[in-house]
Amino acid sequence: MNDDTFENLEVWKEAAELAVRVKLLGEADAESLIADAKRLSKRIARLMEVRRKDFS
């Protein structure tokens, strides 16, 4: 498995975990959920940028 595939799997795993936390916690832990969502969003953006460079 190459590094990109592993990172893709990590991102999907984190997204799934975040979705479960949102479902379970709702607004009870909103600050933490928002911080994690922003961090995950930045990771996804970096991964997408790498993909764009690979295809250009």
Where exactly are the structural domains of the chain? 3-55
Phi-psi region of 2 (alpha: psi -120 to 50; beta: other; left: phi over 0): beta
The pTM of this model reads 0.58
The pLDDT of residue 6 is above 80: no
> How far apart (Å, rounded) are the C-alpha atoms in residues 4 and 2?
6
What pLDDT, on a 0 to 100 scale, did the predictor assign at position 2? Answer: 64
Q: Given pLDDT bands bounded at 50, 70 and 90, which one contains residue 52?
A: confident
CA dihedral 13, 15, 20, 23 (to 10 degrees): -170
The two three-digit tokens of residue 13, written as one number: 């795993």
Q: Given pLDDT bands bounded at 50, 70 and 90, which one contains residue 32?
A: confident
The pLDDT of residue 37 is above 60: yes
